[in-house]
Structure 1
Amino acid sequence: MLTAEAHIPTDRASRYLVQLCKHFANKGRHLGHRPRAHALPEVPLDRIEVEWTDDEGLLRLPWGQCTLRALPGTLRVRVEADDQENVERLQDLVSTHLARFSKRDPLRVEWGTGPATHT
């Protein structure tokens, strides 16, 4: 697996973690509605699995997963996928959603490469 990780400075780490997880958990509930401009391309909505607490979150998509952890003053986000294209896809997905959620006080998301892991 390839990984990338971001440590995002914020005093509202838990708030953003929960907001992001709730957003993706609700994706499957909009099946009868007109697709939104930010709908996930090529992702069957019933294939998005989301678990979270106030301090930890997990998003599973067909092309990888994202783990989130709320720490004091920091939101830690780690994406994992089988190839670089899907790592970048997850990075873009998380970054664009966090940018939209933090318009009043924009978050700065800078990705670093994590160590390769084998599962």
Structure 2
Amino acid sequence: MYRSHARIAAENPQRLIKRLCNHWRHKFPVQLDEQGGLIELPIGRCNLRAVEGYLNAHLESADQDKTQQLQKVVADHLARMAGEERLQIDWQAEAGQPPGAAANANTAVDSRSRYGTVSRTFHWLMALLIVWQFLKLSDRIAEGEHWVGQTLVPWHVSLGAALLVLVVLRIVWAASQLKQRPPHDPATAWLVKGGHLALYGCMLLMPISGLLYLIGNGYGVKVFGQQLVEKGPEIAWTASLGSMHSPLAWLTALLVLGHIGAALFHRLVKRDDIMQRML
């Protein structure tokens, strides 16, 4: 990945960004908010941010030829949008390094335009394990007497323990990346943040309530063949808290479906880059 940027003096950078985004909105996926705009062109990505008296343009593309082409396309269109105002645009490799060097060094962490490798790994690994966990519902079909019930479902407790570790690590990582993650649309930011908070809460409480259910009912806890908690007497209050496991499972399923639906809405209806950030 090759990256370059330019700091462009402009009388009204917000208006310039809005004009360019609206101009390209009918051709390419565009996201426009109060801070700036993000445009996904076939040859690369253009991230525009406005500060007082300046427009900061950050470009990403797959190779050096496309970088040069993207720089020319963006510069030409910004000049057209500026009208009579003359813009001085000098593209530079990010952090003064050869194009792509900084990108290759920092792909693990999040950026304002995309989630990094670590965040994407957490997301898709946990998504796979959560879908696997939902196969527990198949126990209600023929009392689990089928391949899914006999082969995949027995891993339910072990995978739940693994998910508990992963969600804690993911929360710690997300907190460390909070200031540099892709921004949300201000109009719906409260809804997105609320949905994510609820989903994280369920992902954390689900395995905890499952463990409480097993311990409270005297079953003990065996994870990947290792007996972590021995079988013992029933504990009423623990079992009572553990009884929330099933309602939390249904709530988690609804939140996951809502999350998928929102991603598809952005991809198929709004045609912006929200879904690509995690791909």
Query: Scaled by the length of structure 1, what TM-score is found?
Result: 0.77
More strand by share: 1
Written as runs of structure 1 = structure 2, the 5 A alignment for 1:21-100 is 21-27=21-27, 48-100=28-80
Secondary structure class of the residue paired with 2:55: strand
Query: For this pair of structures, how many residues does the alignment match?
Result: 99
1:11 alignment partner in structure 2: 11
Secondary structure class of the residue paired with 1:8: strand
Q: 1-side partners of 2:10 and 2:34: how far apart?
A: 15
Q: 2-side partners of 1:23 and 1:54: how far apart?
A: 17
2:262 alignment partner in structure 1: none
Pairing partner for 1:114 from 86, 94, 114: 94
Contact 1:18 1:54 in 2 (8 A): no
Of structures 1 and 2, the one scoring higher in RCO (CA 8 A, sep 6+) is: 1
Secondary structure class of the residue paired with 1:75: strand
Following TM superposition, by how much is the alpha carbon of 1:105 offset from its aligned partner in structure 2, in angstroms?
Answer: 1.4
Q: 2-side partners of 1:11 and 1:91: how far apart?
A: 21
Following TM superposition, by how much is the alpha carbon of 1:2 offset from its aligned partner in structure 2, in angstroms?
Answer: 0.7
1:30 alignment partner in structure 2: none
Letter paired with 1:66: C
Query: Scaled by the length of structure 2, what TM-score is found?
Result: 0.34
Q: 2-side partners of 1:98 and 1:61: how far apart?
A: 15
Q: 2-side partners of 1:7 and 1:100: how far apart?
A: 17
1:36 alignment partner in structure 2: none
2:205 alignment partner in structure 1: none
Following TM superposition, by how much is the alpha carbon of 1:26 offset from its aligned partner in structure 2, in angstroms?
Answer: 2.5
**For structure 2, which runs of at least 5 residues remain unmatched after alignment?**
96-100, 108-279
Following TM superposition, by how much is the alpha carbon of 1:82 offset from its aligned partner in structure 2, in angstroms?
Answer: 1.2
Following TM superposition, by how much is the alpha carbon of 1:62 offset from its aligned partner in structure 2, in angstroms?
Answer: 2.4
Which has the greater radius of gyration?
2
Stretches of 4+ moved more than 6 A in 1?
A: none
**For structure 1, which runs of at least 5 residues remain unmatched after alignment?**
28-47
Q: State percent identity of aligned pairs.
A: 34
Q: 2-side partners of 1:56 and 1:5: how far apart?
A: 15
Q: 2-side partners of 1:103 and 1:61: how far apart?
A: 22
1:42 alignment partner in structure 2: none
